[in-house]
Amino acid sequence: MKVLKSIAYAVTLPALLILLWWVLTIDSTNFYVPKPGELATTFVDTWFGERFREDVMPSVARFAAGTLLAIVLGIAAGVCIGSVRWLRSLLEPMLEFFRAIPPPVLVPILMVLIGINDRMKIAVIVFGAIWPVLLNTIEGVRAVDPVLVDTARTYGLSRWQRLRTLVLPSAAPQIAAGVRQALSIGLILMVISEMFASSSGLGFTIVLFQRSFAVTEMWSGIVLLGLIGVAVSIVFQVCERKILHWYYGQKEVQHGR
Amino acid sequence: MTAAASTSSPVSPTSPPRRAHGRGAPLPSWVLGVLGIVGFLATWELVVRSGLVEAEYLPAASAVLREIAELAGTSEFWAALGRTVRTWAIGLAIAASAAVVVGLVIGPSRFLRRATHSTIEFLRPIPSVALIPLAVLLYGTSMQSTLLLVVYAAFWQVLIQVLYGVGDVDPVASDTARSFGLGALARIRHLTWPTALPYVMTGLRLGAAVALILTVTGELVIGGGGIGTEIALANSGGAVPQMYALVVVAGLIGVVVNLVARVVERRALHWHVSVRREAL
């Protein structure tokens, strides 16, 4: 009963919205807004076939490579910078500046520096997505309980052991917050880098549809990007729950639920 | 983006005090910060001067700084800057007011919160750049195109925080207000709003950064004037030093936006425990 109720809650509003869309477009000839059925068939025709292998997969692969690299580099550099006090003070203003640069403006710069190829697109994603991970890792490492650090030291834990059993776990919730931001920036940059300079990929294809006024196909591309965004966020939430299960458990206990 | 730690806690807690480890008196951190900036500029200059990277692709730091000074003397530059800031401000204002109103309507009702949850969670992760083709079809290269992206992206940031904030209202205080006969509006004014305000401020801070990213992105990809468009023009025209100068300017705008957001947050929350504790 309880499960049914929550399913009903989750489904009702989207269903109503689609119904409304269907009713409103039932006899409209509006060029910009396709009918729901039409959009669904176009979606399948457009994306499940040749295009899936040639445009969607490479885009997603570049996104995955870039974001993973950004996360790994961000955490590694963040741990180094966060645990050395003078290094942090030395680099903080520069990092604040780099973080503040809107990442898409890096596309033209890296285009000049690297040229137009896959490496450039991955570099754009890394350069844009690394900052939230890096800065959150620094903050997280800095906020490790000093009593625990001293205790670990007194018990003779080596540097590596301290890192693995104390620093990383206690910074993990904050790192996760950074990773969440990095993922959405990575997705934006995947699209932008392809819109700007490419002859394949999702971003390029969608712009191509728009320029040739293939409106229904364009909408189907927007829907696909939306679905990728939702999928990425679900994967992230599942991983976060897995890795940080102890943290959520702790929070639930604290809130007395 | 901001480094704002957890999106759910309104103001990050103050870090515990640390003992200095070094031998002798350590340099104050702002001196180190300045040293960092100088060091970065010097490395940049050296890398180019030594021919490690060709100046054609990466102009020396001094050349870029000179270019910025030159740009600052032209009225076109200030017009573009003004345009970017205006689009950003209008977009953020629309997004924030819409999000606050929607949040205050949905938030207090358990039924509405549950009914809208799946829809919000579905719409929120959609990258707003996906809307670029649609914006171009609807509005061409005018400012509205960019505004559409900015509003969409910033709206969710603020809305989520408002919903968290409204959910944080103390049930005892809420019942007390009710039994004292406060009307719906009075409850919002005296109870819900003050509780949600720290969250709203966090949302605004995150939203301000995202809005700037999307403003520049829209200008870069769609066109229509502003710093982003200037960068695209400099890029296609092969004016490499100018392009780097404009990118640095875009970064400086970002730094200013972050600083202003932090000041506004402290001002608006001067009564809040998290700010008062820092001041003591």
pLDDT surpasses 80 at A103: yes
Hey, what are B4's tokens?
């704002």
pLDDT at B1: 39
Spatial CA neighbour of B65 closest among B244, B251, B253: B244
- Domain of residue A43: give its range: 31-255
Rounded to the nearest angstrom, the minimum Cα separation between A174 and chain B is 6
SS (H, E, C) chain B: CCCCCCCCCCCCCCCCCCCCCCCCCCCCHHHHHHHHHHHHHHHHHHHHHCCCCCCCCCCCHHHHHHHHHHHHCCHHHHHHHHHHHHHHHHHHHHHHHHHHHHHHHHCCCHHHHHHHHHHHHHHCCCCHHHHHHHHHHHHCCCHHHHHHHHHHHHHHHHHHHHHHHHHCCCHHHHHHHHHCCCCHHHHHHHHHHHHHHHHHHHHHHHHHHHHHHHHHHHHHHCCCCCHHHHHHHHHHCCCHHHHHHHHHHHHHHHHHHHHHHHHHHHHHCCCCHHHHHHHC
Chain A, residues 108-127, CB within 8 A of chain B, namely 108-109, 111-113
Smallest Cβ–Cβ distance between B3 and the set A103, A108, A132 belongs to: A132
Query: Residues B161-178: pLDDT tens digits?
Result: 898 888 888 888 888 988
Asked whether residue A21 is domain-assigned, the answer is no
Rounded to the nearest angstrom, the minimum Cα separation between A91 and chain B is 6
Angstrom distance (rounded) from CA B258 to CA B208 = 8
Asked whether residue A43 is domain-assigned, the answer is yes
Q: Is B16 in Cβ contact with A13 (below 8 Å)?
A: no
Cβ(A120)–Cβ(A192) below 8 Å: no
pLDDT surpasses 50 at A91: yes
Hey, what are B19's tokens?
């003992």
pLDDT at B93: 96
Q: Model ipTM?
A: 0.81
8-state DSSP, A103: G
Domain ranges of chain B: 59-279
Total domains in chain A come to: 1
Cβ(A162)–Cβ(B35) below 8 Å: no
Contacts of B139 in chain A (CB under 8 A): none
The position carrying tokens 């017009």 is B79
Contacts of B114 by beta carbon, 8 Å cutoff, 6+ apart:
A6, A9
pLDDT at A20: 87
Smallest Cβ–Cβ distance between B134 and the set A90, A177, A222 belongs to: A222
Spatial CA neighbour of B108 closest among B174, B154, B172: B174
CATH of the domain at A200: 1.10.3720.10
Residue type, B216: V
Contacts of A85 in chain B (CB under 8 A): 18, 20-22, 26
Cβ(B271)–Cβ(B223) below 8 Å: no
- Which chain B residue is nearest to residue A174, measuring alpha carbons? B5
Q: Is A13 in Cβ contact with B116 (below 8 Å)?
A: yes
For an interface test with B, give the residue of A32, A101, A125 to mutate (most B CBs within 10 A): A101
Smallest Cβ–Cβ distance between A173 and the set B1, B6, B39 belongs to: B6
Architecture of domain B59-279: Orthogonal Bundle (1.10)
* Contact B35/A at CB under 8 A: yes
Q: Is A184 in Cβ contact with B5 (below 8 Å)?
A: no
How many pairs of residues across A and B have Cβ atoms under 8 Å apart?
213
Mean pLDDT of the residues in chain A: 85
Q: Is B5 in Cβ contact with A136 (below 8 Å)?
A: yes
- Which chain A residue is nearest to residue B238, measuring alpha carbons? A112
Q: Is A113 in Cβ contact with B127 (below 8 Å)?
A: no
pLDDT surpasses 50 at A124: yes
Q: What is the mean pLDDT of residues A219-235?
A: 87
Q: What is the mean pLDDT of residues A73-101?
A: 89
Contacts of B175 by beta carbon, 8 Å cutoff, 6+ apart:
none
Hey, what are B20's tokens?
């200095």
Cβ(B133)–Cβ(A25) below 8 Å: no
Query: Residues A27-64: pLDDT tens digits?
Result: 777 777 788 888 888 888 888 877 777 788 889 999 99
> Block means of pLDDT (10 residues each) for chain B, length 280 residues?
41 46 63 88 88 81 90 90 94 95 88 86 82 86 89 92 86 88 86 88 89 91 88 88 92 91 86 66
pLDDT band of residue A78 (cuts 50, 70, 90) is: very high
Angstrom distance (rounded) from CA B227 to CA B215 = 9
Phi-psi region of B272 (alpha: psi -120 to 50; beta: other; left: phi over 0): beta
Chain A, residues 226-245, CB within 8 A of chain B, namely 226, 229-230, 232-233
